[in-house]
Amino acid sequence: MKLISKFFFIIVFIFFNFVIFGQDIPQHISYTRIYDFLDEMASEGIFELNSVAKPYARTFITDKLLEAEAQSQLLNNKQHKELYFFLNEFALEQERLPDSKLNIWKNELSKASFIQPAFHYRDTFLRVRITPLVGLQVTRNKNGIIIKRWYGGELQAMIGNHLSIYGSLRDISFQGSLLSRPSYLNNYAGCEYKESTAGGDFSDSRGGIKYAWNWGSFGLVKENVVWGDNYHGSNILSGRAPSFPMLMLHLKPAKWFEMQYFHGWLVSNVLDSTRYYVDNLGTKQYRMANKFMAANLFTFNPVRNFNFSVGNSIVYSESNVQAAYFIPVAFYKSLDHSLTKGLSIENQNSQIFLNFSSRNIKHLHLFTSVYIDEVDFSRFKPSNPEKNPISYKVGASLSNFPVQSLSIIGEFTRTNIINYKHSIPVLTWASNGYNLGSYLGDNSQEIYFALRFKPIRGLDFSLSWIEAKHGNEYYYLRKPSAAIGTIISQPVLGDISWSNQTLEFNAQYEIFNNAYALFNLSLSNINEYDLTSTSIAGELRKTDSNYPDFTPAFLEGKNSTITLGFSMGF
């Protein structure tokens, strides 16, 4: 027994002390400029990049920037300046303090500065970065004005060689219309407002603790996650829903293989009649039903610049977490059939994901992502009117060709009927009521086209066109047995209940690290249509009391909307 104990101690000691160094603080997806730059470098062939899962770790980003620096002779002048700008942003990950101006104080171990606005500390054991977050945006059209303000701070700490702790808090307030609700078909970040007659406010708190080594990491985080290659919202995990806590595991034991896994605690927004508190007046205060999610994603890199990813997930609701769903390499639908056998409804809500990404042609990124809720191969026959609940996205991005600093992007997304829904409301593909996948939800289609031009360091212009449609709304009716077949036999986009045509110009300038100026002009025509004809069982019509509102009144109809803003932080 003593021999076994000694052996175990030696193994643990080696693992925690002699593994090659690693740190893992996620870089939030809202810092789109660094993600765009890495994508551009990968499309230029400077390095390989698996872009199916975000956020990236800051150390991973640093490694990629250093790879680009090693081949700086292949970069143009603007790319050089962008590279060294970003390397300064990720200075602590390079074991140094960043260059800055207007320093409040500076010594060998620490500095505080106004440009970039941050406090940095570095010694042989601890590296710390504290940044303020403050911003103001004003949005105006013929329907009124919206003022968005936020302030807060962000802390990042790397302790020793493997441990990372980070936290971020933003207090955000809106004066005017609220543009983000679970039923709204737009890309605004999901919020849980405290509403008032003047608008509403909410706080966004993220953070976590992670242990990392050279080929992986594990931790407890509250974060926004994106799965699926995209340039205008993923149809697998879009990151639009409010962040939720999760246990996360990332492994890359070989150059040709990478694995992502998490087990998350979602917010169901469904009351559980069996769980309640009793207040001082004897009134029952009901609690929300538990809602959990487990998901994995495996990426294979058989040849340079080509990645194929496959994964699966399950959304489940039990009184407590299920140990089987903590197995990171499991096929969860098979586990579910064993764990819930004998129930009147024998399964939770499981999904399958596929993603293909190719940068084999210089300048060009081709990608496809597929979300499969349920598949019956007989439904692929042309003679079968039933359609599988599947969502797919195909797209391409052409960078620096034929014009330097210009990118041309195109995407097509289509989602079939009841793709993200479930017959049990607590098991839908959602958290806080926000769909975890495509912002357009079920029975929808989007064409997205964009030109992005980056003439100088930090200045980004984009001109984009969106044509989006949403069809009939359906419940997922499991019984009677013919109900599902009838619903998925209806033509996808048979009736158009909502449409959006938007031409948008956006200009953004990162003046210095962590500080932005923003201008946006949007010419939009967004309409909802009154479908009142006879409906089938499970179909909602505009006249139904529970029919969702797809668009805030502020954006409905034809509008010219201008937004001006400035921020420190993202």
Q: DSSP H helical segments within 19-76, as ranges?
A: 32-43, 58-70
* Concatenated DSSP letters of 84-112: HHHHHHT-GGGTSPPP-EEEEEE-SSEEE
Query: Looking at this protein, which amino acid is placed at residue 128?
Result: V
Q: Which residue has the tokens 């098991």?
A: 427
* Concatenated DSSP letters of 265-314: E-----EEEEEEEE-TTS-EEEEEPP-EEEEEEEEEEEETTEEEEEEEEE
Give the H or E element holding residue 482.
Answer: helix 482-488
Going by C-alpha positions, the residue among 431, 453, 418, 432 that lies closest to residue 537 is 418
Q: What is the per-residue pLDDT for 9?
A: 45
Q: Which residues pair with 164 in a beta bridge?
A: 158, 210
* Residues in contact with 569: Cβ distance below 8 Å, sequence separation at least 6, in sequence order: 131, 132, 133, 134, 135, 152, 154, 170, 514
Q: What is the per-residue pLDDT for 114?
A: 87
Q: What is the per-residue pLDDT for 481?
A: 66
Residue 449, CA distances (Å) to 170, 347, 391 in order: 32, 39, 19
Residue 533, CA distances (Å) to 91, 94, 212, 495 in order: 62, 64, 58, 10
Length of the chain: 570
Q: What is the per-residue pLDDT for 344?
A: 62
Cα 538 to the center of its chain, rounded Å:
30
Going by C-alpha positions, the residue among 461, 436, 429, 463 that lies closest to residue 448 is 463
Q: Prior bond to 402 cis, omega within 30?
A: yes
Going by C-alpha positions, the residue among 244, 282, 283, 250 that lies closest to residue 264 is 244
Structural domain boundaries in the chain:
21-568
Task: Let me know: does 351 contact 313? Beta carbons within 8 Å.
Answer: yes
Longest CA–CA separation in the chain, Å: 78
* The dihedral formed by the CA atoms of 459, 565, 440 and 430, expressed in degrees to the nearest 10: 110
| CATH placement of domain 21-568 | 2.40.160.130
Helices (H) and strands (E) in the chain, counts: 6, 30
End-to-end CA, the chain: 54
Q: What is the per-residue pLDDT for 478?
A: 78
Radius of gyration (C-alpha) of the chain in whole angstroms:
25
Q: What is the per-residue pLDDT for 101?
A: 86
Going by C-alpha positions, the residue among 417, 547, 423, 546 that lies closest to residue 480 is 423
* Residues in contact with 258: Cβ distance below 8 Å, sequence separation at least 6, in sequence order: 50, 250, 251, 252, 298, 299, 301
Give the H or E element holding residue 8.
Answer: helix 2-18
Pairing mode, strands 498-512 and 459-470: antiparallel
Q: What is the per-residue pLDDT for 14?
A: 41
**Both structure tokens of 68:** 């680009």
d(CA 227, CA 393): 12
Going by C-alpha positions, the residue among 90, 127, 87, 93 that lies closest to residue 110 is 127
Q: Which residues pair with 120 in a beta bridge?
A: 111, 129
* Residues in contact with 290: Cβ distance below 8 Å, sequence separation at least 6, in sequence order: 268, 272, 317, 318, 319, 320
Task: Let me know: does 88 contact 99? Beta carbons within 8 Å.
Answer: yes
**Both structure tokens of 393:** 């996205």
- Mean pLDDT for back-to-back runs of 10 residues, the chain (570 residues): 45 43 87 96 97 97 97 95 96 94 90 91 96 96 96 96 96 94 94 86 95 96 98 97 97 97 97 90 91 98 97 95 97 92 76 98 98 92 92 98 95 97 94 97 97 96 98 85 83 94 97 92 95 79 86 96 90
Q: Which residue has the tokens 């004066």?
A: 175
> What are the backbone angles phi and psi of residue 524, rounded to the nearest 5°?
-125, 150
d(CA 473, CA 458): 43
d(CA 503, CA 289): 41
d(CA 562, CA 252): 44
- On the 0-12 / 13-18 / 19+ scale of CB atoms within 10 A, 324 is middle
